[in-house]
């Protein structure tokens, strides 16, 4: 399959400016001292209409938090989020209803996010009901069509089951169906296909690409699967400890990564051949600590290429190294 690409337009649908989210946490159980966990730390990016922006990065680096801030499930510590030029912080009342239809989130965990007391039909139909879309018959038809599209066929075998009567990947597909059934204009998709086998996943990728072609839906696509990001996303942003360290065209990120973290990440992608021994990824050991980080480059402690000057210097900013390929590293 060849996924259609975004039409050349600079119509910005989402603009994120200097976004930060800090959580107060207990530093130590015994002292009870509070410290700040920098989940998202001064992040800026844009998504164009009809574009798929991939968000990849270390587990715990702030991807889900970024998504939750965008759909207003969390409030930023600082920074702004504009969707279609409206600051989401200003949305109230009737506007909120509209926002809830226009902007959807597919949650990372399909075991937590589906209401256990609702049938699959009710779960997928709920956003249609809430927004008063269509007659009952029309909704029924739309739900069935959506279930077919995500490969839950025949729909009659699933409509009246409860989430606990489905497999992990089937729940994920219910979550996708629910988000897409209202034809939103922007979707934050948080690891939406992480439990799906390649054939079904390809089907879902085609569906998402088709909807973007037909309806101009844009996506922020959070994933750990770089091969999926390569195929589905126009651009990829790479995060490390709350910050974007590299952002560029998907093919550039995958084929010509520049930041030392991105390079390590690409080298760690497993290959489907038991005969190949992949080398250990080139990154220093240790764990990343987002609590009260030092004001220098966040990757310094684990960077295999760091120079002594990096220890002294301030946190590097994203710089364009040509053709809109942004990198945050002092060595460039």
Partner 1 sequence: MDTLLRLEDLTMHYKTKAGWVQAIDGVSFSLDKGQSLGLVGESGCGKTSIAMSIMRLLPYNAQLVKGRILFGGRNLYALSDEEVRQLRWKEVAMIFQAAMNSLNPVYSVGNQIIEAIVTHEPETGEDEARERVESLFELVGIPKERMDHYPHEYSGGMKQRAVIAMALACNPSLIIADEPTTALDVIVQDKILREIEDIRRKINMSMIYISHDVSVIAEVSDVVGVMYAGKLLELGPADDVFKRPKNPYTYSLMHAYPSILGEKHDLVTIPGEPPNLLDPPTGCRFHPRCDWATKECGETAPLWREITEGHYLACHNPIRTKQGKSCKQQKTAKGGDVIDTSDGN
Q: Provide, rounded to whole angstroms, the least separation between the CB of residue 35 and Mg ion.
A: 21
Contact call for residues 211 and 131 (beta carbons, < 8 A): no
The phi and psi torsions of 105 (rounded to 5 degrees) equal -125, 130
Secondary structure in 3-state letters for the chain: CCCCCCCCCCCEEEEEEEEEEEEEEECCCCCCCEEEEEEEEEEEEEEECCCEEEEEECCCCCHHHHHHHHCCCCCCCEEEEEECCEEHHHCCHHHHHHHHHHEEEECCCCCCCCCCCCCHHHHHHHHHHHCCCCCHHHHHHHHHHHHHHCCCCCHHHCCCCCHHHCCHHHHHHHHHHHHHCCCCCEEEEECCCCCCCHHHHHHHHHHHHHHHHHHCCEEEEECCCHHHHHHHCCEEEEEECCEEEEEEEHHHHHHCCCCHHHHHHHHCCCCCCCCCCCCCCCCCCCCCCCECCCCCCCCHHHCCCCCHHHHHCCCCCCEECCCCCEECCCCC
Contacts of 309 (CB under 8 A, 6+ apart): 330
Tokens of 278: 């992949």
Closest CB to partner 1 among 206 and 296?
Answer: 206
Tokens of 228: 């999926």
- List the single partner that 265 binds among Mg ion, partner 1, ligand ATP, none, CB under 5 to 8 Å by kind: partner 1
Answer for which of 13, 14, 39, 53 binds ligand ATP (CB under 6 A) is 39
Answer for which of 13, 37, 180, 258 binds ligand ATP (CB under 6 A) is 37
Among 167-175, 178-186, 267-275, 298-306, which window interacts with ligand ATP (CB under 6 A)? 167-175
Q: Provide, rounded to whole angstroms, the least separation between the CB of residue 61 and Mg ion.
A: 9
Q: Provide, rounded to whole angstroms, the least separation between the CB of residue 75 and ligand ATP.
A: 12
- Our finding on whether 168 is near ligand ATP (CB under 6 A) is yes
- List the single partner that 226 binds among partner 1, ligand ATP, Mg ion, none, CB under 5 to 8 Å by kind: partner 1
Q: Provide, rounded to whole angstroms, the least separation between the CB of residue 195 and Mg ion.
A: 7
- Our finding on whether 64 is near Mg ion (CB under 5 A) is yes
Answer for which of 20, 48, 65, 113 binds ligand ATP (CB under 6 A) is 65
- Our finding on whether 290 is near ligand ATP (CB under 6 A) is yes
Q: Provide, rounded to whole angstroms, the least separation between the CB of residue 168 and ligand ATP.
A: 3
- Our finding on whether 73 is near partner 1 (CB under 8 A) is no
Closest CB to partner 1 among 28 and 94?
Answer: 28
Q: Which of residues 280-309 bind partner 1 (CB under 8 A)?
A: 280-281, 283, 287, 289, 291
Q: Which of residues 100-119 bind partner 1 (CB under 8 A)?
A: 108-109, 111-112
Q: Provide, rounded to whole angstroms, the least separation between the CB of residue 324 and partner 1.
A: 20
Closest CB to ligand ATP among 111 and 136?
Answer: 111
Q: Which of residues 216-255 bind partner 1 (CB under 8 A)?
A: 224, 226-228, 230-231, 251, 254
The phi and psi torsions of 94 (rounded to 5 degrees) equal -55, -40
- Our finding on whether 177 is near partner 1 (CB under 8 A) is no
Q: Which residues bind ligand ATP (CB under 6 A)?
A: 23, 25, 37, 39, 59-65, 108, 164-170, 195, 290
């Amino acid at each position: 399959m060849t996924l259609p690409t975004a039409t050349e337009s600079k119509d910005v649908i989402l603009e994120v400016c200097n976004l930060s989210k800090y959580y107060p946490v207990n530093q130590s159980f015994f002292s009870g001292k509070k410290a700040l966990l920098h989940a998202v730390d001064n992040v800026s990016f844009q998504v164009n209409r009809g574009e798929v922006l991939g968000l990849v990065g270390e587990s715990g680096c702030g991807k889900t938090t970024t998504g939750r801030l965008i759909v207003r499930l969390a409030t930023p510590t600082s920074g702004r989020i504009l969707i279609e030029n409206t600051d989401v912080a200003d949305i109230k009342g009737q506007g909120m209803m509209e926002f809830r239809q226009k902007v959807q989130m597919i949650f990372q965990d399909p075991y937590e996010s589906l209401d256990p007391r609702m049938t699959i039909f009710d779960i997928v139909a709920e956003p249609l009901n809430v927004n008063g879309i269509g007659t009952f018959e029309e909704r029924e038809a739309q739900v069935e069509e959506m279930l077919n599209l995500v490969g839950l066929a025949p729909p009659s075998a699933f409509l009246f089951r409860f989430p606990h009567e489905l497999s992990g990947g089937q729940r994920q597909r219910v979550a996708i169906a629910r988000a897409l059934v209202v034809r939103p204009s922007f979707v934050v998709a948080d690891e939406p296909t992480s439990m799906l086998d390649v054939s079904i996943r390809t089907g879902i990728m085609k569906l998402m690409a088709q909807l973007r072609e037909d309806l101009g839906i844009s996506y922020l696509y959070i994933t750990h699967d770089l091969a999926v990001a390569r195929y589905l996303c126009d651009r990829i942003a790479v995060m490390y400890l709350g910050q974007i360290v590299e952002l560029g065209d998907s093919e550039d990120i995958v084929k010509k990564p520049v930041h030392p973290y991105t390079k390590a990440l690409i080298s760690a992608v497993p290959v489907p051949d038991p005969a190949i021994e992949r080398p250990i990824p080139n990154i220093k050991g240790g764990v990343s600590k987002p609590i009260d980080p030092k004001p220098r480059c966040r990757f310094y402690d684990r960077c295999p290429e760091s120079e002594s000057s990096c220890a002294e210097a301030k946190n590097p900013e994203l710089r364009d190294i040509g053709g809109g390929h942004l990198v945050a590293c002092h060595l460039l």
